[in-house]
Structure 1
């Protein structure tokens, strides 16, 4: 389904929003994150896929590949670590900690009894656990029933204590909040709720690294027009989309590209928020192969940024995501093979749906002159799941990718 946002505007980035999230704060977070040894110091590549663009009937398809952001395999490595650092700095103001010292574990002895907790579908919890291990504090991760054992094992490998709970992601969020209150722990969540916005803001601000790298990696443009006309962003609770869209909105002002948010049809909380005109809940089962997007409630903080700037909201089916995973893995003579996980391909799935339906493409302004930006948010963070869905292991795809690069 496709919905034009009735509340979208075309105006410069408002000062009220800039006081919450800004390019300046995002760039500071980026500088601090650069001091964490578990991140790729070179950033992540931005690939041009001319074969795919020709196949779909657009001028250009650019894909930002977050699978190589770090050994964690996803963009989440930018959010939880910076939020944890900022939380520690606020909690222990008298110590004058620096990001560099925290990330190298210099203050591990002082933070040994400091405990953070979060619910996760996998990637956020893994990033938080890895950051806590580097810093030297304790970490507890709450997993709901639909999180695979494979993802649990990957999180536990970083020393986190795992708590299993029944229900879905939103119920695991409630359980994490309850455990934090009962034990005096602090929640480091990527979704906001009443009275809890500071940490989710820091998480979203960390995601500003992605658009910063994209803009730096593109040729200089004449005037204020962006190098891309359309940006497809994953839904979830809205944090990634808000982090990227707010940065590009502030940078390009009223000349910003068209933003399209994509989410599973059974986890359509942002789609429903656009209909309601306020942060709302999903109407479906919230059980999707796109595990990172299987969220039932919109983050109210993220919605403050998304409501005025997202042009369209769209839902897709699980089988469309699987087809897109296979298409990116396949590559081609002109296109590098890419390992893209279940949630990474939401944008491509939506673009494919739109371009194979002429009327829908026209509705969102997509045509042969369009230049499209996609964010591949994760690699094979659950390798067994990836192989089952794609029919080929991620290692095999990476081998073909290496061969392709050697011939390019």
Structure 2
């Protein structure tokens, strides 16, 4: 299902939003994080898939592969770590802390009794746990009933204390807030709520680096025209979409590309937000194979950035996502194989669905001249799930990718 956002506008990036998130802060965040040993050297790859573009009858399909951003396997390595760094800087303003030294563990004695907590569907909690371990503070992660034991083990491997609840993601957010208040801990969440905005802003700001890298890789240092006509963005609570939209809206103003947000049909909180014209809750079970997008309530702060910038909101089925995982893993003569997890393939799933619907493609302006950017937000972060869904291990696909790149 797809709807046009009646609030979408074509105007310059609003000053009100610029005060919250901006390109300068996004670039600064990436510069600070570059000192972290859990980030790879340089930008993640931007792959062009000409055979896929031909099948979908568009000019270009470009995939930003975030699976190799970090050993953590996802784009979340840009969010929670920088939010934790900025939180500590605010906590000890008189210490003149060097952010690069902080992320390398240079202030471990100072933060040894400092504890952070967060709810997660998996990747955010793993990134926070990894950052806390490097920095030297304690970390508690709250997991809801649908988070797999495999993802739990990946988080616990970084020394985080795990708290399990029986409810869903939104209930785990509430439990994290309760435990923080009870114990004097600090919440590092990627979703905002009443009275809690600074940390989610910092998380989203970190994600803007993806857009900056993609522009540089597309060789448009000075051009006033976006190299992308359309950008497919995963939903969730809205953080990734807000970070990317913020960067490109500021960069191109009224000439920004068209933004389409994709989310599971059973976790449609952003779709419902567009319908209700305010940050809203999902109407479905919020139980999707796309674990990273199985969120029941939109982040009010993220919605501030999405309500006038996203042109279309759409929902996809779990089967659509799995089909897209297969497509990316398979590759072709001219298309590099890509390890893309359940949530990572959602953008391609949305694009493939749209190209089957001639009327919707026409309304969105998708045609043979379109240049579409997809962000594969994760690799095989749950290897057993990936193997079950794709029928091949992530390691095997990565090996085929290496052979393709080296031929």
Q: Shorter chain as normaliser: what TM range? A: over 0.9
Distance in 1 (CA, whole Å) between partners of 2:218 and 2:365 is 22
Aligned to 2:66: 66
Post-superposition offset of 1:369: 0.6
Q: Is the 8 A contact 1:119 1:189 kept in 2?
A: yes
1:146 aligns with 2:156: no
Distance in 2 (CA, whole Å) between partners of 1:402 and 1:217 is 20
How do residues 396-407 of structure 1 correspond to structure 2 at under 5 angstroms?
A: 396-407=396-407
Aligned to 1:341: 341
How do residues 342-361 of structure 1 correspond to structure 2 at under 5 angstroms?
A: 342-361=342-361
User: 1:318-345: per-residue Cα shift (whole Å, max 9, x none)?
Assistant: 0000000000000000000000000001
Aligned to 2:129: 129
Q: Is the 8 A contact 1:12 1:249 kept in 2?
A: yes
User: 1:46-83: per-residue Cα shift (whole Å, max 9, x none)?
Assistant: 00000000011100000000000000000000000000
Aligned to 1:35: 35
How do residues 11-160 of structure 1 correspond to structure 2 at under 5 angstroms?
A: 11-160=11-160
How do residues 7-406 of structure 1 correspond to structure 2 at under 5 angstroms?
A: 7-220=7-220, 223-406=223-406
Post-superposition offset of 1:364: 0.6
TM-score of the two chains, using structure 2 as the length reference: 0.99
Distance in 2 (CA, whole Å) between partners of 1:124 and 1:98 is 24
Distance in 1 (CA, whole Å) between partners of 2:221 and 2:180 is 48
Q: Is the 8 A contact 1:236 1:293 kept in 2?
A: yes
User: 1:378-407: per-residue Cα shift (whole Å, max 9, x none)?
Assistant: 000000000000000111101111111111
Distance in 2 (CA, whole Å) between partners of 1:264 and 1:220 is 33
Task: For residue 219 of structure 2, give the secondary structure of its aligned residue in structure 1.
Answer: coil
Task: For residue 47 of structure 2, give the secondary structure of its aligned residue in structure 1.
Answer: strand
Post-superposition offset of 1:100: 1.4
Post-superposition offset of 1:154: 0.3
Distance in 1 (CA, whole Å) between partners of 2:106 and 2:18 is 33
Post-superposition offset of 1:222: 7.7
Runs of 4+ in 1 over 6 A off after TM superposition: none
TM-score of the two chains, using structure 1 as the length reference: 0.99
Task: For residue 397 of structure 2, give the secondary structure of its aligned residue in structure 1.
Answer: helix
Q: Select between 356-365 and 135-144 the one with higher mean Cα deviation.
A: 356-365
Task: For residue 207 of structure 1, give the secondary structure of its aligned residue in structure 2.
Answer: helix
Post-superposition offset of 1:220: 3.2
User: 1:173-230: per-residue Cα shift (whole Å, max 9, x none)?
Assistant: 0000000000000000000000000000000000111011011111338852111100
Q: Is the 8 A contact 2:39 2:70 kept in 1?
A: yes
Distance in 2 (CA, whole Å) between partners of 1:322 and 1:94 is 50
Post-superposition offset of 1:31: 1.0
Distance in 2 (CA, whole Å) between partners of 1:406 and 1:104 is 33
Distance in 1 (CA, whole Å) between partners of 2:349 and 2:254 is 27
Distance in 2 (CA, whole Å) between partners of 1:375 and 1:126 is 20
Unpaired runs of at least 5, structure 2: none
